[in-house]
Structure 1
Amino acid sequence: MRRRATRLAGGVTLVTTLAVALSGCVASERDAEGGEESGKDTFVFAASADPGSLDPAFASDGESFRVARQMFEGLVGVEPGTADPAPLLAETWDISEDGLEYTFHLKEGVKFHDDTDFDAEAVCFNFDRWANWTGLAASESLSYYYTHVFGGQGENGKYESCEASDAATAVVKLKSPLPELVPALSLPSFSMQSPAALEEFKADEVGGAEDAPELSAYATEHPVGTGPYTFEEWKTGESITLNAFDGYWGEIADVKSIVFTVIAEPTARRQALEAGDIDGYDLVAPADVDALEQAGFQILDRDPFNILYLGMNQKAKPLDDPLVRQAIAHAIDKEALVAAALPEGTEVATQFVPSIVSGYSEDVPTYEFDQDKARDLLAEAGQENLELEFNYPTDISRPYMPDPAAIFEAISADLEEVGITVTATPEPWSPTYLDTIQGSEKHGLHLLGWTGDYNDTYNFIGTFFGAESSEWGFNDPDLFKSLADARYADVDQQEELYKAANEAVMEFLPGVPLASPVPSLAFTDVVQGYPVSPVQDEVYNVITFSE
């Protein structure tokens, strides 16, 4: 049955055509007497797309992170069912009074999958790796999270150094305070990876171009972490297989193998579940929820800890004109969009943070659905017969965007009603869409969104608008400063400063926040204890199978 959530601290809530024929879903295990005991030990999960990279340091998308969380761990994890940080490979940490020195006390006896030791030297190797990327490896499209959290590589960044004072103690020093460092380290992008494997398989040798990078063998064939599962095989466009790590320091329940099978279309994922080819899938189409529930499948809901938005690249004129951006905002019927293309329970958005995040403001400028006003603004801007490119992804469902084509169709129809002709530019999510939007200026209007990584306002609006970027194409030092002031303010001042920053963002209107959808997952009744997380920190070693 559908499990609804109960309110948690910090504003987060918790809930406790391709169908691939898979063999090995039921495995035989020998008991102590040498007989055979049948029992399910493979968990088959339908992903909506291939990961962009098996190296989480070079990833920023949910499908990459879903796989990475099974293989990799960071110094900091997440308290189950919340967005709050918790110890993981670091058992405790100390922070200096000036906020410039973090001392991490590490879990001992942990091994990487290649049987090398996880220790303080490995921690410092990873921090130094992130800080010293150059060329394509340092581009926003690849080192996205490091760039946005630490401010950039080398002299541009906030990282100064890391020292292994002993095998179990790593001391990280910063050039300037970074208040969200601890929760940020829970991101898969900051996972600990084997220094030996990174060097052997030349992880940082990236070829190609910024909008079409060519990753190393490490990122496609040889990822090595400390997590409960090890990499076995990636059949591009088909599946990824992981196996339990015999040397794992923690517990592994019933799932000894994981198969992520790639099924792009929501209808095909539903059919695969109904046929028994998979055990579960994410991003259930809103129209399928009731039918699956009635058929006896489990439906689990995540809270809407996300934002779907229409981005506007101001390098693509006349999107640099605020009158044009305002006209586009007034042209879109968000209520109708939610009713037609998004799940039940979806919240219409007024700003680029969900309503449960601290810093959400009731006083942001709003742009109500008013197509007459949109036409007037276009006339004032001299753009009555405007033509715009409209980029949207294909072959993907995201928590904030379950059906990109349907969302595109609804918005483009609204825009055409006010005299804006759109040129549709659909593009496969993997491997090109994010590279186009985040790594080039070759886009105009575009659909994208964000699932929060942790409960912090900067993780939303700071990630979007804290500095100049290819996605938005503008440079506004005053806006960047207002976000930085809020980020580094005393805790008792942050909420009001973030509210003011939210109001400034919506006054400037770099894009149109559309909605915060409710993502749903579906499983067979055999799957027990799936660890639903508002930030998708869902590791399968805790899952059990019923008879």
Structure 2
Amino acid sequence: MRPSRRRAAIAVTAVAVLAAAGCAESSRDGSGDKAVKDTLVFGVAGDPKVLDPSFASDGESLRVARQIFETLVRPEEGGTKASPGLAESWTPDAAGTTWTFKLKTGVKFHDGTDFNAEAVCENFNRWYNAKGLMQSPDVTPYWQDVMGGFAKNESAELPESLFKSCTAKDAATVDLAFTRVSSKIPSALMLPSFAIHSPAALKQYDASNVTGSADDIKYPEYATAHPVGTGPFKFKAWDLPNKSLTLERNDDYYADKAKLKTVIFRTISDENARKQALRSGDIQGYDLVGPADVEPLKGEGFNVLTRPAFNILYLAINQKGNPALAKPEVRQAINMAINKDALVSSKLPPGAKAAIEFLPDTVEGYNPDVKKYTYNVEEAKKLLASAGASNLKLRFHYPTEVTRPYMPNPKDLFELISADLKAVGIEIEAIPLKWSPDYLNATTSGSAHDLHFLGWTGDYGDAYNFIGTMFDRQKDEWGFNNPELFAQFKDADSTADQAARVEKYKALNATIAEFAPGVPISHSPPAIVFGKGLTGITPSPLTDERFVGATFQ
């Protein structure tokens, strides 16, 4: 899951707040008394940005989308492997470029229309034939990350599309054709951005009519007030002024129906305020539990669920803005200067570990034999001196007003790492910026940043989704051009044999470690908490928690 780094100023249609939202206020201990046994109020750190997951990249939008929409392929419960979603099975042809999906039958969208192969093709053709602002990476981020370009690219910077065509062979059988073999298929299709929408609703609300400009994107009514999927919950209201979004149970759901009648997402940006709201019973759950709060909340009887670590926190080094950072010795010195073990033990949750590469050890392609940069102050000083950078001054950006699964307290992390860098003679200029949009804009474009924090939570269990997302092409965040590395990625991605592809990923990790484009810092197991009597939710390494099974005991 990418950090939300989109510039779009989303025009949202505020909807009347549900009277039902008030029914959750009477439980004072988070345990779920009679007033709330059918309602879950979940505290979120920020407002969703958009309700059409085709346009979403932020975690809160995708959390809501996972309850409303479904994909052909879904992550296994509590894991990362592909399992049946709206498709019961899928098989590739001999060439590995056309995949046949056998679809579930008897499934209906929330508007009562039928889910079938034609509906699947309507969705893929909508994405593939996108025009105008729909081709902006700020509007269709995941389509471009996975598929590349479109039927008719309007920018020379867009690559050829991986997707080629969709064919409905019969109502329950669909062929998806691709221009080449890719490791992303079928696993990437579990992303909420590839959720299947009602074609009738897409047409009724002109869902592809994105207007405005690149700096002021305005989404159509469908994306702010009328999302229609096949999931266990359906949209009811979004009261943006009161920071409340309400879903209701889909009583016509084809599988096991939700036990809850209502789910309300309430925005509470301050972590301590979320914790107090849980304790008072105003909410019955929240995400991104502070590391220091895990054990106390468990001790109070709350249901704290720890996700498996499936993320990376990294320090990015921008080679474009400062000539010294283009020297490998300087980047290696920065790697050696940081005491990762001290950072992990003092600032991250139990179970976190220091990283040696930009990939968790739970993903095939992890390479334990990459070049390792052991914490060594004196050696870092020597490397800086040999590169003529003993008096280096760097602009270090860090975010404010944010908590991420991989980054619980950015200011604390900044202070520790800054102290490490100063100890080897690097002068630091601190540049704190509000997370969205200031920090994300500043660190993912241009050349004004030297160092900054970002991270990544995996979308699916493939190495490309981590290291390819960061390093498979030239990007402003890192400021380097390495054609040999990019060619390695293209080769690995198009390797059909899984065992051979894993070995190529291992080689890529070794190449990246030698090149040292940044500092992989840590992998953290983030926690999510629920009220004392709330059960039935399985923690997911992909943050793919499904509320359909939630129930109050």
User: Partner residue of 2:96?
Assistant: 99
Structure 2 distance, partners of 1:529, 1:80, is: 12
1:367 to 363, 370, 373: 373
1:204 pairs with 2:205: no
1:455 to 454, 457, 461: 461
Q: Which segment is superposed worse, 534-543 or 163-172?
A: 163-172
Structure 2 distance, partners of 1:212, 1:400, is: 29
- Residue 295 of structure 1 aligns with an amino acid whose one-letter code is E
Q: How does 1:376-387 map to 2 (within 5 A)?
A: 376-387=382-393
User: Partner residue of 1:31?
Assistant: none
Structure 2 distance, partners of 1:386, 1:434, is: 25
Query: For the structure 1 residues 200 and 441, does the alpha-carbon distance in structure 2 shift closer, same or farther, using more than 3 Å as the test?
Result: farther
Structure 1 distance, partners of 2:389, 2:207, is: 48
- Residue 269 of structure 2 aligns with an amino acid whose one-letter code is A
Contact 1:358 1:456 in 2 (8 A): yes
User: Partner residue of 1:5?
Assistant: none
1:515 pairs with 2:538: no
- Residue 532 of structure 1 aligns with an amino acid whose one-letter code is P
Structure 2 distance, partners of 1:444, 1:117, is: 52
User: Partner residue of 1:526?
Assistant: 533
1:41 pairs with 2:34: no
**Aligned residues: CA RMSD:** 2.4
Contact 1:141 1:439 in 2 (8 A): no
Q: How does 1:90-489 map to 2 (within 5 A)?
A: 90-154=87-151, 156-207=160-211, 210=214, 213-236=217-240, 238-318=243-323, 319-431=325-437, 433-438=439-444, 443-489=449-495
* CA offset digits 1:422-456 (Å, max 9, x no partner): 33333343455445544665544221111122221
Structure 2 distance, partners of 1:434, 1:91, is: 39
Where in structure 1 are there 5+ consecutive unaligned residues?
Answer: 1-20, 28-36
Deviation, 1:199, is: 3.7
Structure 2 distance, partners of 1:429, 1:114, is: 37
- Residue 130 of structure 1 aligns with an amino acid whose one-letter code is W
Structure 2 distance, partners of 1:124, 1:291, is: 50
Structure 1 distance, partners of 2:74, 2:45, is: 25
Query: For the structure 1 residues 247 and 304, does the alpha-carbon distance in structure 2 shift closer, same or farther, using more than 3 Å as the test?
Result: same
TM (norm. structure 1) is 0.88
* CA offset digits 1:502-524 (Å, max 9, x no partner): 00011111111100011112222
* CA offset digits 1:225-273 (Å, max 9, x no partner): 2111122233347222111123322222321111111122222221111
Q: Which segment is superposed worse, 412-421 or 119-128?
A: 412-421
Q: How does 1:8-87 map to 2 (within 5 A)?
A: 23-25=22-24, 40-87=37-84
Contact 1:388 1:423 in 2 (8 A): yes
Contact 1:52 1:430 in 2 (8 A): no
Contact 1:76 1:87 in 2 (8 A): yes
Contact 1:211 1:435 in 2 (8 A): no
Contact 1:26 1:41 in 2 (8 A): no
- Residue 196 of structure 2 aligns with an amino acid whose one-letter code is M
Where in structure 2 are there 5+ consecutive unaligned residues?
Answer: 1-19, 27-33, 153-159
Deviation, 1:210, is: 4.6
Deviation, 1:68, is: 1.0
Deviation, 1:473, is: 2.6
Query: For the structure 1 residues 113 and 435, does the alpha-carbon distance in structure 2 shift closer, same or farther, using more than 3 Å as the test?
Result: farther
% identity of equivalent residues: 48
Structure 1 distance, partners of 2:403, 2:485, is: 32
Structure 2 distance, partners of 1:478, 1:414, is: 32
SS of 2:478's equivalent in the other structure is coil
Structure 2 distance, partners of 1:373, 1:427, is: 32
* CA offset digits 1:301-359 (Å, max 9, x no partner): 11111111111233322333323322222221111111221111101000010112111
Deviation, 1:69, is: 0.3
Structure 1 distance, partners of 2:393, 2:224, is: 40
Structure 1 distance, partners of 2:220, 2:345, is: 43
SS of 2:344's equivalent in the other structure is helix
Contact 2:162 2:179 in 1 (8 A): yes
Contact 1:212 1:435 in 2 (8 A): no
Contact 2:25 2:282 in 1 (8 A): no
Deviation, 1:211, is: 6.2
Structure 1 distance, partners of 2:245, 2:339, is: 40
Structure 2 distance, partners of 1:171, 1:326, is: 47
Query: For the structure 1 residues 323 and 105, does the alpha-carbon distance in structure 2 shift closer, same or farther, using more than 3 Å as the test?
Result: same
- Residue 220 of structure 2 aligns with an amino acid whose one-letter code is S
Query: For the structure 1 residues 125 and 435, does the alpha-carbon distance in structure 2 shift closer, same or farther, using more than 3 Å as the test?
Result: farther
* CA offset digits 1:190-210 (Å, max 9, x no partner): 111223333443433445555
Structure 1 distance, partners of 2:128, 2:235, is: 26
Structure 1 distance, partners of 2:386, 2:126, is: 51
Structure 1 distance, partners of 2:336, 2:127, is: 42
Structure 2 distance, partners of 1:289, 1:301, is: 9
Contact 1:26 1:42 in 2 (8 A): no
Structure 1 distance, partners of 2:36, 2:132, is: 49
User: Partner residue of 1:17?
Assistant: none
Query: For the structure 1 residues 325 and 143, does the alpha-carbon distance in structure 2 shift closer, same or farther, using more than 3 Å as the test?
Result: farther
Contact 1:112 1:225 in 2 (8 A): yes
Deviation, 1:76, is: 0.8
Structure 2 distance, partners of 1:137, 1:125, is: 16
Structure 1 distance, partners of 2:537, 2:192, is: 19
Structure 1 distance, partners of 2:296, 2:125, is: 51
Contact 2:24 2:36 in 1 (8 A): no
SS of 2:181's equivalent in the other structure is coil
Deviation, 1:212, is: 5.9
Q: Which segment is superposed worse, 255-264 or 144-153?
A: 144-153
